[in-house]
Amino acid sequence: MLVVLGVGGPFVYIHFFNGSTPAALSLPTTTASASPGGTGTGAGGTATASTAASGSLAGTYRVGSGSAVGYRVNEVLVGQSTTAVGRTSSVTGRLTIVGTTATAATFSVPMDTVLSDKSQRNAQFDGRIMDVAKYPTGTFTLTSPIDLVPLPATGVIKSYTATGKLTLHGATRTVTFTLTGERKGAQIDVAGDIPVLFSDYNIQNPSIGGFVTTQDHGLLEFLLIFSKA
């Protein structure tokens, strides 16, 4: 009976009382008008028509409303698998495009604003895991320019490889990852995720004894809505 309760309790909690796991951050679904410019792929994987590219993308952009950054880590709660997700909408950042090249980009978040759906998990995150009082900010800075040629038409989603410096928990590492971007007039939406090996950033494994165990890595997810400054 104790074994049944020990395994069945977490199963019932996760599958009936726990909130559903948020979907991964991705580009907002849009429907572009038809034109001969080609086709793009929406966030749900469905082909959408595009409009022709409308002029230069050059300029400076700032992160605005609708942006979010967070983490996604797989956990096992007494034998039952679940996924921990925490997010913040308190994101600042800039993007600079010169000609047809993204020459600079950065985004930052105050770590104490990253919240999950569980107060106990938040307390562990703020304290022993990320020590947000000592390391209050997480930051990514692009270090290699991204060639945007050919410039995408409005509504077309394109993938790019980005390389930069990620700073978490006081440690900075070079990271390379794939992101997707979509042009929306004077707005550019960018989404992706960055694999994070906890030991690379001197982050204590989030596991709690034998009650909650996690993998030794997770994902830093982001959705950045850039508007022209």
Q: What is the pLDDT along the chain (229 residues), one digit of tens a residue?
A: 434 334 443 333 333 335 688 999 999 986 443 332 333 333 333 334 344 456 789 999 999 999 999 999 998 876 788 899 999 999 999 999 999 999 999 999 999 999 999 999 999 999 999 999 999 999 999 999 999 999 999 999 999 999 999 999 999 999 999 999 999 988 999 999 999 999 999 999 888 766 788 889 999 999 999 999 8
Distance CA 208, CA 118 (A): 15
Q: Model-level pTM?
A: 0.82
Q: What residues have CB less than 8 Å from 128, skipping those under 6 apart?
A: 204
pLDDT at 37: 31
pLDDT of residue 29: 80
The whole-number pLDDT of residue 205 equals 86
What is the pLDDT, as a whole number, of residue 30?
63
